[in-house]
Amino acid sequence: MAAEAWPRWQRQRPAPGGPLRVSYVTVVRNAAATVERTLQSVQAQTWPHVEHVVLDGASTDGTWALVQRHAARLAHAASAPDGGLYEALNQALGWTTGDLVCVLNADDWLTPDAAANAAAAAGEARGDTALLVCSAAWVESRGQAPHLWLPEPLTAASLLTCANICHNGVYATPAAYAATGPYRTDLRIAGDFAWLVAGVRAGVAVRRSDQPTVHYSLGGMSGDTLRHTRECVQVLRQAVPALSEEEAWGLLHCFHQPAWRMDAFAASRPPHRGRFLQALAQRHEGDALLMRALAQAAAAVLQHPADDRPAGKLSRSEKWRRSLRKRWIALTGR
């Protein structure tokens, strides 16, 4: 898709002004067991200025029939084969008319005040302001109590942490989509991560909200953590082409959140992460994006050695330095 053709709007967009409008986009294939709950959660929003666009990828399990039952309350709905999740999302976004657009999976559902919370976080911003609102999510796992997923700050550091943010809790203005470009269709799982990174690189403004807006169901394609991590390496190397594959894997071992996802890739872990980072920083000191990402990631993730000791006590290295200083004074008188 050519950059100048993005976004490719398919419906007449309202004139500027008036109340903030929120669009939800759902692309679905064979989710008859859950899609109706998704549809009903949009219809139950307390914010009155909401629309829902649904694209079905030629489902064979009755999903499309369920969607059609709600057709009167949908802004647009269609069913046809597609080339995958991100290709379908790129198509669906063109049918929205909202000031904020949120991608809602067919096995997830909104909190009743999701749109209201997103609108409050956006404030006076409208569709012509390049803005991402990153909100919290309730993570739903079968047999376990839901837990709250708070979004990490979206900065250059997210390139190394793999942006620990729930995509279904992100609300983007049309201007933000124009700045990021379309979702990458060469990725199967991490296209949302690549899109968030594109927002950082384009300088899109970010507002963080700790108010949960969505119930996010674990499982499905997003549950393939091994493939997601491999695709995170692809995204990192595309953003910083000078990185070798070994260096990209080493950076993820240093900063990826959650860290346990890297356990399966232990063979690519640097023998000494501190020395690895020092050498890498020297090799790539001219890369502004990477240096910014390293500085922000280190500030967020790494711990200063002085923080490991109780207040008022010296670390072992500090004791050693002071001992050397005393010997020097004893020998030289200075």
CATH of the domain at 40: 3.90.550.10
Task: Tell me whether residue 285 is in a domain.
Answer: no
pLDDT reported for residue 8: 86
Query: Any idea how long the chain is?
Result: 334
The CA distance from 299 to 155, in Å, is 12
pLDDT reported for residue 221: 63
pLDDT reported for residue 333: 59
Task: Tell me whether residue 251 is in a domain.
Answer: no
pLDDT reported for residue 113: 98
Q: Are 258 and 147 in contact (CB under 8 A)?
A: no
The CA distance from 74 to 268, in Å, is 48
Task: Tell me whether residue 104 is in a domain.
Answer: yes
Together in a domain, 178 and 320: no
CA distances for 11 relative to 34, 54, 75, 93, 288, angstroms: 28, 14, 10, 10, 40
pLDDT reported for residue 300: 82
Q: Which of 223, 249, 277 is the last residue of a domain?
A: 223
For residue 9, what pLDDT band results from cuts at 50, 70 and 90? confident
DSSP-H helix ranges across the chain: 35-43, 63-69, 85-93, 114-122, 158-161, 174-180, 191-201, 225-239, 245-255, 273-283, 288-301, 316-332
Q: Which of 196, 223, 250 is the last residue of a domain?
A: 223
The CA distance from 167 to 195, in Å, is 10
Together in a domain, 121 and 218: yes
Q: Which of 182, 201, 223 is the last residue of a domain?
A: 223
138 three-state secondary structure: strand
Task: Tell me whether residue 139 is in a domain.
Answer: yes
Together in a domain, 192 and 330: no
Together in a domain, 208 and 314: no
Task: Tell me whether residue 213 is in a domain.
Answer: yes
Together in a domain, 204 and 99: yes
Task: Determine how many CB atoms are found less than 10 A away from the CB of residue 78.
Answer: 14
| 123's tokens | 């404030």
| 67's tokens | 């969607």
Mean per-residue pLDDT for 115-139? 95
Segments forming the whole domain that contains residue 133:
19-223
Task: Tell me whether residue 330 is in a domain.
Answer: yes
Together in a domain, 328 and 209: no
Q: Is the whole model's pTM more than 0.75, yes or no?
A: yes
Q: Are 183 and 228 in contact (CB under 8 A)?
A: no
The CA distance from 253 to 257, in Å, is 9
Q: Which residues pair with 109 in a beta bridge?
A: 215
Together in a domain, 100 and 196: yes
Together in a domain, 185 and 326: no
Together in a domain, 322 and 215: no
Domain count within the chain: 2
Mean per-residue pLDDT for 140-158? 91
pLDDT by residue (tens digit) across 181-230?
999 999 999 999 999 999 999 999 999 999 999 999 987 666 688 999 99
pLDDT by residue (tens digit) across 272-290?
999 999 999 999 999 999 9
Mean per-residue pLDDT for 30-51? 97
Task: Tell me whether residue 212 is in a domain.
Answer: yes
20 three-state secondary structure: coil
Together in a domain, 59 and 188: yes
CA distances for 225 relative to 86, 221, 235, angstroms: 18, 9, 15
| 31's tokens | 């989710």
Task: Tell me whether residue 280 is in a domain.
Answer: no
